[in-house]
Structure 1
């Protein structure tokens, strides 16, 4: 009840004895009650449909996500054994299909150039004002082949900068070099390191105010270095890793080797020239059986959920186009080709892995067919379980994405979008009705207040007349 309208009625009079504000509220509510009940009932139905369709969509998404995670990092992830663990570790990129075995022989690890420049008496000695210029390229014996496409690095040195200041400036330059000062038997030396790989060799050139034709400590060009004038400053040369994979010679600027056939990756750790080691992949047959069995169980959960919700006799999605589409998709899942490029005789479908869809709308596993496929085509069966464009995961993921596509009116996602839009429209209609009801109630309050005032005036007039009549009767008596 509104206190303002109550005070209005009180001010105008309460002659009728009727609660006009409550009466107005009851009448305005009764006026819109049937329409509100109808809309709220429809809203409840839509909420159930949104919930049911959303649950189906979520179940499919979760299944695809769990399967992908199991292939990437779970028990279906490729397990590679390196015969000589001191030589390398190995892994397979997501979506890779590395299988079988490989021979690996590492003859050289990738390395970085390291210089220990001419010594100073102390790390606090000034190096001289000027500019240090670093050029990058390949150091080959006493020659240097600059990489013209790579920008030089220049660092300005002030007259007060010490050897430690220079090391700090190199590290702060954010380039491909790092530096520190080593205090050894010869004195304080600036140590410079590049990055792994033959193309990451570098030279040092000091120029500017303190440069001298006969450089010494305190002259910026005392820090000069190039391979032609090296007198022992180079402690390690930049080089690419060199190895053979299945007898094929390869190089890499880094010991972290990627881009190898079938998604194979290597981290080289040691050399084994003349003694190749084997990279072998473990049999994943037992893991595949476990995954396919779990897939059947998960698909049956979704099928049961769909059957209940899409029941034409009382299911929330009984006549839903998205539910009908999903039924057809599930019915055809076992026969769908998931490996279009499979060789003749190799497994191509989920049915080849033992997946069966029965007429009652449920899935089951033909265990014997799965075992036969694994025994006949172990490598090809394993290749079906990747996160690439084809395979078991891609098939389930595409099913989940298709079902969840909100812009497709014939999908579960489209149904969620459509029902949500209808539900929002009902919410807007209920808001409009609430405004109309409040407007009607306010109008009724005003009208009833006016009527109540007239009744009060009539009662007052009647009381006056009754009093006059009583007086007349008394005088006549």
Structure 2
């Protein structure tokens, strides 16, 4: 191509016709590097196809893991607790908990908060006196108070303009967990102070300041003093822990919400049933698990179909790719891999126990008979395989997706993407260097052709002069 183009240029110059030297220089410089550019662009297209194929497989895996996690956390597979006596407690299950087994529950006492109704005033607008209120927290036993040094006291500054109502506002805004308001009782306005649930959240009130006198009276801040030793009916409710028996084991909770229980149970106690235990269990998820395994099998077959196409020995973009081979090996052992290593003897441990079967053709199918057998014999254990913890269906697929996405592992899909991307960047750098070389050649050719063009123009000018001179001579000779 270069020889043919050069011949055309020389022929045009020799004929003395006008030639676009800039265009010819560009054509020649482009033709010189065309074979190298074409080869690099072809390799770049192949690398881009490989990156796209590896990304497709990786994204299918991560999407499957994400969908599994969402469905287990928020969908119909999340464990659901049930209780026989709904008046005793509301039951739920922590996210990621296994949610299996049955338990008996007997609630003997609910948690309570201390409530004080202080001495009477004539109205909520009465001044309470200047000084400082210190409210200390701890446990009350009879007439004794044992302060909790880890629970910071609430210190309330009281001005000489504070009323019973404004003091209630200050107590509520103190950040101590206390709430206060003024109640208009039959004997007058009374400051009501309420603490948080739990026996350790009892409190006493101490007053100090210029208004303190030996004989507490309205208008003196010490009129609001209270401790169990001087109680004369101001305490309307005592701070107490909730008490209950779970499977006959005595337990307590500082509030009416109890967690840290087996099976991931969370109890919100609402009533007592001393002497009449109720049963807690978990909802039957057989239908949901069956539907889930059907969807899971279909999703796996989508991945295997993509893998078969993209990693085909002939014509596949990932025909000899180590990441594709790693995915193929992972899928080949998926149904027999132990995904519940802590399962008890006889409980399901593998996806095969949930009916997942790998066929000779490399596809997956769901053995409904095997699945139903597992659900009939070990429903709670099968349900425990669908959690968002380290083990189980989600944990296994999520771990596989993460491992095959690692860009630092050359034997993973992520490693393949990293490698092909690096190669593509190097090809881009080579193309940039070729472009620089091509530009230098073009500039040199432009200079050369410009000089040639000037020489041709001078020759044509001389030829025209000679022709005119000869014509003049011939005219004179006549």
Paired position in structure 2 for 1:102: 103
Per the TM alignment, residue 351 of structure 1 is displaced from its structure 2 partner at its CA by 1.7
Between 438-447 and 393-402, report the one with greater CA deviation: 438-447
Between 321-330 and 77-86, report the one with greater CA deviation: 77-86
Deviations 1:306-350 (A, max 9, x none): 111110100111000011111111111111112223333332222
Per the TM alignment, residue 138 of structure 1 is displaced from its structure 2 partner at its CA by 0.9
The 1:239–1:435 alpha-carbon spacing in structure 2 relative to 1, beyond 3 Å, is farther
2:362 counterpart SS class: coil
Q: Contact (CA 8 Å) 2:178, 2:196: kept in 1 or not?
A: yes
Per the TM alignment, residue 469 of structure 1 is displaced from its structure 2 partner at its CA by 4.0
Q: CA–CA distance in 1 between the matches of 2:429 and 2:176? A: 60
1:180 counterpart SS class: strand
The 1:82–1:475 alpha-carbon spacing in structure 2 relative to 1, beyond 3 Å, is same
The 1:21–1:271 alpha-carbon spacing in structure 2 relative to 1, beyond 3 Å, is same
Q: CA–CA distance in 1 between the matches of 2:75 and 2:47? A: 39
Paired position in structure 1 for 2:9: none
Q: CA–CA distance in 2 between the matches of 1:20 and 1:249? A: 99
Q: Contact (CA 8 Å) 1:111, 1:240: kept in 2 or not?
A: yes
The reply on whether 1:145 has 2:142 as its aligned counterpart is: no
Paired position in structure 1 for 2:53: 52
Paired position in structure 1 for 2:400: 399
Task: Specify every segment of 5 or more residues in structure 2 that has no aligned partner in the other structure, as ranges.
Answer: 1-15
The 1:464–1:246 alpha-carbon spacing in structure 2 relative to 1, beyond 3 Å, is same
The 1:445–1:128 alpha-carbon spacing in structure 2 relative to 1, beyond 3 Å, is farther
Paired position in structure 2 for 1:342: 343
Deviations 1:376-396 (A, max 9, x none): 333333332322232222222
Give the TM-score taking structure 2 as reference length: 0.90
Q: CA–CA distance in 1 between the matches of 2:310 and 2:202? A: 68
The 1:26–1:141 alpha-carbon spacing in structure 2 relative to 1, beyond 3 Å, is same
Paired position in structure 2 for 1:249: 250
Q: Contact (CA 8 Å) 2:118, 2:190: kept in 1 or not?
A: yes
Q: CA–CA distance in 1 between the matches of 2:462 and 2:81? A: 107
Paired position in structure 1 for 2:359: 358
Q: Contact (CA 8 Å) 2:80, 2:99: kept in 1 or not?
A: no
Task: Specify every segment of 5 or more residues in structure 1 that has no aligned partner in the other structure, as ranges.
Answer: 1-14
Q: CA–CA distance in 1 between the matches of 2:476 and 2:210? A: 136
Q: Contact (CA 8 Å) 2:101, 2:263: kept in 1 or not?
A: no
Paired position in structure 2 for 1:224: 225
Q: CA–CA distance in 2 between the matches of 1:112 and 1:437? A: 85
The 1:114–1:427 alpha-carbon spacing in structure 2 relative to 1, beyond 3 Å, is farther
Q: CA–CA distance in 1 between the matches of 2:174 and 2:446? A: 80
The 1:271–1:24 alpha-carbon spacing in structure 2 relative to 1, beyond 3 Å, is same
Paired position in structure 1 for 2:165: 164
Q: Contact (CA 8 Å) 2:112, 2:197: kept in 1 or not?
A: yes
Q: CA–CA distance in 2 between the matches of 1:376 and 1:44? A: 55
The 1:81–1:345 alpha-carbon spacing in structure 2 relative to 1, beyond 3 Å, is closer
2:243 counterpart SS class: strand
Alignment of 1:7-406 (within 5 A): 17-406=18-407
The 1:332–1:470 alpha-carbon spacing in structure 2 relative to 1, beyond 3 Å, is same
Aligned residues between the structures: 463
The 1:465–1:340 alpha-carbon spacing in structure 2 relative to 1, beyond 3 Å, is same
Per the TM alignment, residue 475 of structure 1 is displaced from its structure 2 partner at its CA by 4.2
Question: What is the root-mean-square deviation in Å for CA atoms of aligned residues?
Answer: 2.3
Q: Contact (CA 8 Å) 2:99, 2:380: kept in 1 or not?
A: no
